Amino acid sequence: MKIAYFISTLILLLLVNACKTKTQDSKEGDLQTIEKPYLGQTPPGFIPIPFAPGLVSTDLYEVNSAFTPDMKAFYFIRRGEENKTSAFYEYKYNDTNGEWDKSEIASPWIGRPVISPDGKTMHLGDRYLEKTESGWSELQKLEPPTVSNDSMYIMRLSSSSNGTYYFDTYKENDSTFPIRYSRLINGKYEEPIALPKAINTGTFLSHPFIAPDETYLLFDAKREEGFGDSDIYISFKQKDGTWGNAINLGDKINTNAWEASASITPDGKYLFFSRNVGSDDFENVDIFWVDAKVIYALKKE
């Protein structure tokens, strides 16, 4: 009797373990659905390199990249092509053949893309697209109070998982306007609030990117202690809920040239940003990428 009970228990344990293993393997399989992730590019280390040379980064002007949360679509802006002032492009992963298909979304470009953490909204400054069953919706415009009057415009808006907006705002001939945020309260957005001086110090405070859980904020600005032109900074949320002093990402990311429009891929692995690699006229700007551990290390320091 004892032997029979032991054998039955052993068989039950083996079945449970088999089911558990099968479930884990299934989840791991779901995460490996892209044969050539990141447009088939070899991932970088801790030194930034141009992303997808010839495909994305060329001798023209490329800025503001964004992946969808499932990592199967990539967006960026390019200007300087013949007969075009600028254009908005998409690379979309083809599940059938494992290739990335390129298409033009709009010309001229309609805003700097940042995709919400749930993948349902593509923010384009003070405008946006919503995800539908057939693709992206028609272009829509944010309502006040986020955009309060016609003399201001938003270059880049980023949202957290709870819907809070973080955005830059520009007025004509004013390079000192702060980065602000607006919380979603009872279904409505509050009046925008300027972030503290830990972030809003310097000029040309631009292109904020908020972490989905709001633990850090990436942005670019001109500051006296910087490396030259606009540099990329990060501020980490402190335990008491305040924002820590912004940290320059250092001389591996920032140079004496213009660096801007930083973001982290939805999988948390890579930092993307734009850098002027040409002359002062910005004819040649490339999209760079680097291992995101370079910013996580700053938090430990």
- 5 within domain boundaries: no
Q: pLDDT of the chain along its 301 residues, tens only? A: 434 433 343 333 333 333 333 333 333 333 358 999 999 999 999 999 999 999 999 999 999 999 999 999 999 999 988 767 789 999 999 999 999 999 998 888 888 999 999 999 999 999 999 999 999 999 999 988 876 555 678 999 999 999 999 999 887 778 888 999 999 999 999 999 999 999 999 999 999 999 999 999 999 999 999 998 999 999 999 999 999 999 999 999 999 999 999 999 999 999 999 999 987 778 899 999 999 999 988 987 6
Quote the CA–CA distance of 56 and 74 in Å, as a whole number: 10
Q: What is the pLDDT of residue 278?
A: 82
Helix, strand, coil shares, percent, the chain, to 5? 15, 40, 50
Beta-carbon contacts of 117 under 8 Å, excluding residues fewer than 6 positions away, are 69, 159, 160, 161, 212, 266
Query: What is the spatial distance between Cα 287 and Cα 289, in angstroms, rounded to a whole number?
Result: 7
Range of the domain at 220: 45-56+113-300
pLDDT of residue 84: 74
Q: In the β-sheet with 157-159, what is the strand arrangement from edge to edge? A: 157-159, 165-167, 180-182, 193-194
Q: Is 38 exposed, middle or buried (0-12, 13-18, 19+ CB in 10 A)?
A: buried
The partner residues of 89 in beta bridges, in order of sequence, read: 76, 104
CB within 8 Å of 144: residues ≥ 6 apart: none
Is 197 in contact with 189 (CB distance < 8 Å)? no
| Residue 69 within a domain | no
> What is the count of structural domains for the chain?
1
pTM of the model: 0.87
- Written as six digits, the tokens of 31 are 């995460």
Amino acid at 184: L
CA distances from 87 to 63, 101, 255, 288 (A): 11, 16, 27, 19
Residue 154 DSSP symbol:
-
Q: What per-residue confidence (pLDDT) applies to 124?
A: 95
- What confidence score (pLDDT) does residue 147 get? 66
> Is residue 96 situated within a structural domain?
no
